[in-house]
């Protein structure tokens, strides 16, 4: 990795704008999973202990119908209201503003700032806005060793549009920029790419770790190198499969996406998830694997159900059949025990394993055995084990096996694009060593 890190710059007495990923799940004002906050702590503590005055910025959720934290309605809302008869406009405006207020509360970063204050054992100053007068005044008054949090970046539509003026206003509060939000590094937003045009830009320890571990796996892996791909849609993983076939010794495919491969082999898949438009692609990938000498493993048995569980965690009757014998009126919702054993043997023989995507509907305890089997095989392995964020990370956490893995990525979408071999704009924009 040739990008500068926080250790390559002097931050003493400097104001530092740091992009973090505090987009944490909330239940009211209670944070239900603190992993993303904990992931940012090493860089935050390093910068504070080295004399930086730290301005943290993050998004939270998708508050697209709030234009900003002062509760001005966005253009779309205004246009809708102006199209109404005059006598209805006042009530509609009031209703829209009430909804905006609810969104501001729901997507407010204040509970995160409060929790960060407890974790750091010091006051964390909360700004009422992002680039407004309150944020500007608090940033100007910030002293070395102090930390503040700006309000939700996505209260401004300009954030996701990578608006230069918005990026410039963000950058104007600081002298150095640090990106430690790997989960948003695949997006060219104002706070990930735009600000780098106005400030020296380096990465924090979290991004450094992501690039070091995943980069080594993709470019210089200890072999045998095994990749495990799952999840529902093959469309999400087209480029990942193609790229990994250039790099791995074994490619394992499970989850809903496996049924299009099974169909491409000529098997009947019943009511299972199927993308007819990608059957030829699957044939091409199987041919490519053969030509490259890559072992491509597909499920040899499947756990089938008559109807998809509703609600998703409801008790459900299952039937385990060989993958070429799925009944016409049933759908595969997990890999079967013979497949768990087959995949497990390949994982245990590996020196590097990368996993992205569950093996079945793991939210249902009856249909979680395949995902658990893969997770357990990785936990028992001596290999470097990398979980590529998203549902795989959630599954490993849920199953209590997170501590057994070498690395769990903090960015589902970013890690997927990295596995595809794509350039991540939020990383590419940082200064080279």
- Model confidence at 66: pLDDT above 60: no
Q: Compute, in degrees rounded to 10, the torsion defined by CA atoms 263, 268, 269, 273.
A: 40
Architecture per CATH, 6-63+107-206: 3-Layer(aba) Sandwich (3.40)
Share of the chain above pLDDT 70, in %: 96
- Model confidence at 268: pLDDT above 90: yes
- Own/partner contacts of 256-260, CB < 8 Å, gap of 24 or more, are 256/230, 256/231, 256/232, 256/332, 257/229, 257/230, 257/231, 257/232, 257/233, 257/357, 258/230, 258/298, 258/299, 258/332, 258/335, 259/332, 260/234
Contact yes or no for 316/271 (Cβ under 8 A): no
Backbone angles phi, psi at 418, to 5 degrees: -65, -40
Average pLDDT over residues 416-422: 86
**Mind listing the pLDDT tens digit for each residue in 85-129?**
988 888 888 887 777 666 667 889 999 999 999 999 999 999 999
Higher model confidence: residue 191 or residue 103?
Answer: 191
Largest CA distance in the chain: 73
Task: Tell me, yes or no, if the two domains 6-63+107-206 and 213-420 fold the same way.
Answer: yes
- Model confidence at 327: pLDDT above 80: yes
Q: Domain residue spans in the chain?
A: 6-63+107-206, 213-420
Cα 84 from chain centroid (whole Å): 40
- Model confidence at 25: pLDDT above 50: yes
According to the model, what pLDDT value does residue 61 have?
Answer: 87
Alpha helices, H only, 298-381 = 337-348, 369-380
Contact yes or no for 388/354 (Cβ under 8 A): yes
Running DSSP on this structure, what letter comes out for residue 383? S
CA distance 89 to 83: 9
Q: Compute, in degrees rounded to 10, the torsion defined by CA atoms 208, 416, 369, 250.
A: -90
Higher model confidence: residue 183 or residue 378?
Answer: 378
- Model confidence at 401: pLDDT above 90: yes
Angle at 9 between CA 7 and CA 11, to 5 degrees: 100
Share of the chain above pLDDT 90, in %: 75
Strands 384-387 and 407-408: parallel
Q: Cite the active site residues.
A: 36, 233, 390, 413
Beta-carbon contacts of residue 9 (< 8 Å; ≥ 6 apart): 176, 200, 202
Backbone angles phi, psi at 256, to 5 degrees: -60, -30
- Model confidence at 247: pLDDT above 60: yes
Length of the chain: 433
Three-class DSSP category at 278: helix
Q: For domain 213-420, give the fold.
A: Rossmann fold (3.40.50)
Contact yes or no for 418/426 (Cβ under 8 A): no
The total of other beta-carbon atoms located within 10 Å of residue 217's CB is 25
According to the model, what pLDDT value does residue 34 have?
Answer: 87
Contact yes or no for 139/173 (Cβ under 8 A): yes
Three-class DSSP category at 53: strand
At 422, the pLDDT band (50, 70, 90 cuts) reads confident
- Own/partner contacts of 160-167, CB < 8 Å, gap of 24 or more, are 160/187, 160/189, 160/190, 161/190, 162/188, 162/189, 162/190, 162/193, 162/194, 163/190, 163/194, 164/194, 164/197, 166/131, 166/190, 166/194, 167/191, 167/194, 167/195, 167/197, 167/198
- Model confidence at 245: pLDDT above 60: yes
According to the model, what pLDDT value does residue 67 have?
Answer: 47
Strands 147-149 and 53-57: parallel
- Model confidence at 271: pLDDT above 90: yes
According to the model, what pLDDT value does residue 70 have?
Answer: 44
Higher model confidence: residue 47 or residue 78?
Answer: 47
CA distance 19 to 180: 6
């Amino acid at each position: 990795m040739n990008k500068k890190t926080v250790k390559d710059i002097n931050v003493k007495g400097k104001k530092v704008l740091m992009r973090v990923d505090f987009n944490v799940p909330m239940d009211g004002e209670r944070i239900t999973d603190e992993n993303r906050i904990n992931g940012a702590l090493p860089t935050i503590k390093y910068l504070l202990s080295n004399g930086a005055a730290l301005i943290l910025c993050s998004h939270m959720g998708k508050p697209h119908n709030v234009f900003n934290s002062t509760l001005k309605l966005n253009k779309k809302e205004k246009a809708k209201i102006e199209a109404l008869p005059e006598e209805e406009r006042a009530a509609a405006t009031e209703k829209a503003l009430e909804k905006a207020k609810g969104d501001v509360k729901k997507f407010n970063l204040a509970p995160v700032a409060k929790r960060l204050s407890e974790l750091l054992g010091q006051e964390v100053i909360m700004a009422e806005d992002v680039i407004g007068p309150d944020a500007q005044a608090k940033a100007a008054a910030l002293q070395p060793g102090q930390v503040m949090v700006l309000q939700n970046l996505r209260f401004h539509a300009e954030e996701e549009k990578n608006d230069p003026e918005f990026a410039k206003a963000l950058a104007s509060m600081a002298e150095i920029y640090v990106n430690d939000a790997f989960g948003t590094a695949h997006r060219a937003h104002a706070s990930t790419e735009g600000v780098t045009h106005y400030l020296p830009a380096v990465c924090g320890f979290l991004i450094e770790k992501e690039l070091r571990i995943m980069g080594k796996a993709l470019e210089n892996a200890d072999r045998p190198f095994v990749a495990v791909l799952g999840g529902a849609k093959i469309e999400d993983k087209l480029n990942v499969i193609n790229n990994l076939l250039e790099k791995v010794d074994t490619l394992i495919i499970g989850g809903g996406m496996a049924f299009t491969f099974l169909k491409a082999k000529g098997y009947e898949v019943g009511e299972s998830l199927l993308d007819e438009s990608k059957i030829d692609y699957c044939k091409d990938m199987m041919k490519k694997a053969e030509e490259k000498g890559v072992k491509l493993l597909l499920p040899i048995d499947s756990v089938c159900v008559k109807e998809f569980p509703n609600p998703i965690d409801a008790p459900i009757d299952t039937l385990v059949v060989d993958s070429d014998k799925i009944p016409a009126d049933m759908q595969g919702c997990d890999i079967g025990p013979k497949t768990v054993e087959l995949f497990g043997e390949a994982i245990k023989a590996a020196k590097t394993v990368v996993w992205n995507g569950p093996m079945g509907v793991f939210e249902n305890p009856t249909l979680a055995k395949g995902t658990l089997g893969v997770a357990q095989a990785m936990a028992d392995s001596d290999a470097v084990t990398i979980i590529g964020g998203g549902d795989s990370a959630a599954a490993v956490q849920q199953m209590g096996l997170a501590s057994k893995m070498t690395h769990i990525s903090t960015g589902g979408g970013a890690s997927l694009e990295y596995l595809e071999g794509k350039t991540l704009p939020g990383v590419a924009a940082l200064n080279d060593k």
